[in-house]
Structure 1
Amino acid sequence: MPHHVQRSIDSPLRTGLTRTQLWEAADQGLIKCWEIGRQRAERFPDLAQRCLAGELPVLGWKGGVSRSLKKNEKYGSLKYLAQWQGLRGEDLDIDLAEERSLTCSRTKMKVTFTPDRTKYFNQVAEVEA
């Protein structure tokens, strides 16, 4: 199993793959999340601009923030990080064995993206109002 998932922004979007190939391969679905981010950047340029400005908007995976919480830090999914990189038009670059922290430029919330699902699985879900 690779510990580092990387893909160039110049890579074409993949087609014709099965659900198992997309979500259960060695990359754990990170490439698909990144590709979804690239597609969303085309459809939602305002969202892409927010990501480029360092915001961590609420997306389909745990990790986004819509407001500051009492506890100024939380955990997020590597799938969120992959989609965020795609939205920013960046190369996919995620180490499956390491945590990576980012601070939202708008809310100042620190989010640590982790491969350990137990760290974010039981957090209170944040719903966009």
Structure 2
Amino acid sequence: MSQRIHRPIDSPLRTGLTRDELWEAADKGLIKCWEIGRQRAARFPDLAQRRSADELPVLGWKGGVSRSLKKNEKYGSLKYLAQWQGLRGEDLDIDLGSERVMTCSRTKMVVTFTPDRSKYFNQVAEAEA
């Protein structure tokens, strides 16, 4: 059974929550990642502009790409996807039980955002490829 995490873009940023409430609750930290993305969009307009062009810039979670690699596909974290949606000014909308495939408009790299950490955790780091 899948669990969809959804919050409208006009939701206020949450305050006063503990670390466990932010990162260990049922949403697995996705709401916090999305809120961070919203804050980064305001602070870094150049980053916000790149996300508007359907680029997948490097962020704090696995999933972004700075250049094309020999292997044209990789896995990324749902936390990256949540932060990216916040950067774009979109509603948070992620299904914890499914994967989502996206292509970076700049590098043409195909990234599969997955809830399965084992798919991206042991992946060769971009700098090492």
Compute the TM-score of the two structures, normalised by the length of structure 2: 0.96
Deviation of the 1:77 alpha carbon: 0.1
CA–CA distance in structure 2, aligned partners of residues 125 and 23 of structure 1: 24
Deviation of the 1:42 alpha carbon: 0.2
CA–CA distance in structure 2, aligned partners of residues 24 and 30 of structure 1: 10
Deviation of the 1:52 alpha carbon: 1.0
CA–CA distance in structure 1, aligned partners of residues 101 and 45 of structure 2: 24
- Find the counterpart in structure 2 of residue 59 from structure 1: 59
- Find the counterpart in structure 1 of residue 120 from structure 2: 120
Q: Note the residue ranges of structure 2 that are not aligned, 5 or more in a row.
A: none
Deviation of the 1:126 alpha carbon: 2.4
Q: Note the residue ranges of structure 1 that are not aligned, 5 or more in a row.
A: none
CA 1:101–1:63: 2 relative to 1, 3 Å: same
Deviation of the 1:83 alpha carbon: 0.1
- Find the counterpart in structure 1 of residue 69 from structure 2: 69
**Amino acid of the structure 1 residue aligned with 2:33:** C
- Find the counterpart in structure 1 of residue 14 from structure 2: 14
- Find the counterpart in structure 2 of residue 111 from structure 1: 111
- Taking only the aligned residue pairs, the percentage that are identical comes to 84
**What is the aligned length?**
127
- For each residue in 1:20-58, what CA deviation from the matched residue of structure 2 results, as whole angstroms up to 9, or x when unmatched? 000000000000000000000000011011011000000
**Amino acid of the structure 2 residue aligned with 1:81:** L
Task: Please tell me the root mean square deviation across aligned C-alpha atoms, in Å.
Answer: 1.1
For residue 119 of structure 1, give the secondary structure of its aligned residue in structure 2.
Answer: helix
Is contact 1:2–1:26 with CA below 8 Å preserved after alignment?
no
- Find the counterpart in structure 2 of residue 43 from structure 1: 43
